[in-house]
Amino acid sequence: MKMNKPIIGITSTILDIEIKGEVNPSVQTNHQYVKTVIEIGGIPIVLPVANEEIAKEYVNICDGIIFASGEDINPSNYNESPLEELQKTNIARDEMELPLVRYAVEKRIPILGTCRGLGVINVALGGSMKQNIETKESAFSHNQKTSRKLPSHKISISEDCHLNQLLGVNDAMVNSKHHQAIDELADSLRVAATAEDGTIEAVEARDKNQFILGLQFHPEELYAADTDMLNLLELFGKACSKGN
């Protein structure tokens, strides 16, 4: 029997944790995502890194999926060689999450991506990434030195985008902890928000009947003190509830 609350999957990574002198590969995701899903009325389940066959099963049990933050996306996924500035990647995670995006889109399951998750959505749908934005191109650093629970810069929300219509605001203050950003945007996505230096900060599906929201920032760290961020996350929760 279907539960009244939506089941929302949260992607994870593999972290080596030392216990009593032995290294144990462990499933890891930021607990703030779990708290966020509970806050917006969902049931959180963590999705371990597995294989493409398991990814197909994940979309059968989830009413929505959060693609969490983490490692850089391996540039081979968008036909580029790695630059020196590329940071840690996780091939196994890429190999599961990229098809997971495509299966979720095919099944029209709402998806939300933050930071790495934005890149995963874009690359899975045919886009590419700037492997490192800490160059002359960038008007300011996007890797803030303060806590992610504090905003560091403003974004402008496009007036004609679905996100603007839903939130009713033209700008917002966000946090920033990344060194990569979208380069070529996937055809099925549209820009929903940008930073003052032109960095893409939010994307959404061109098809307004499909809930896809990718965010370069971390609303899960801001919503407790920011009504706009809470509203944004609640929109995702409501989209996940529609199938219930």
Query: Per mean pLDDT, which range of 142-146, 229-233, 235-239 is the poorest?
Result: 142-146
Q: Give the model confidence (pLDDT) of 163-204 as tens digits.
A: 888 888 899 888 888 788 999 999 999 999 998 888 999 999
The mean pLDDT value for 101-110 works out to: 98
The answer to whether 142 is a known catalytic residue is: no
> For position 55, what pLDDT does the model report?
96
Q: Give the model confidence (pLDDT) of 89-99 as tens digits.
A: 899 999 999 99
Which residues are within 8 A (CB) of 85 and not within 5 positions of it... i.e. 6 or more apart? Answer: 131, 132, 134, 179
Report the run of H or E that residue 14 belongs to, with start and end: strand 13-19
pLDDT band at 87 (very low <50, low <70, confident <90, very high): confident
List 142, 220, 221, 240, catalytic entry: 220
List 62, 115, 161, 240, catalytic entry: 115
Indicate the length of the chain as a whole number: 244
Gap between the Cα atoms of 24 and 16, Å rounded = 5
Domains, the chain, ordered by start: 7-241 (3.40.50.880)
Gap between the Cα atoms of 26 and 4, Å rounded = 31
Q: Give the model confidence (pLDDT) of 117-147 as tens digits.
A: 999 999 999 999 988 876 545 556 676 677 7
The answer to whether 218 is a known catalytic residue is: yes
pLDDT above 90 for 44: yes
Mean pLDDT score of the chain, rounded to an integer? 90
pLDDT above 50 for 1: no
pLDDT band at 218 (very low <50, low <70, confident <90, very high): very high
The mean pLDDT value for 71-92 works out to: 89
The answer to whether 134 is a known catalytic residue is: no
Gap between the Cα atoms of 169 and 231, Å rounded = 11
List 142, 178, 218, 240, catalytic entry: 218
The mean pLDDT value for 99-103 works out to: 98
Q: What pTM was estimated for this model as a whole?
A: 0.92
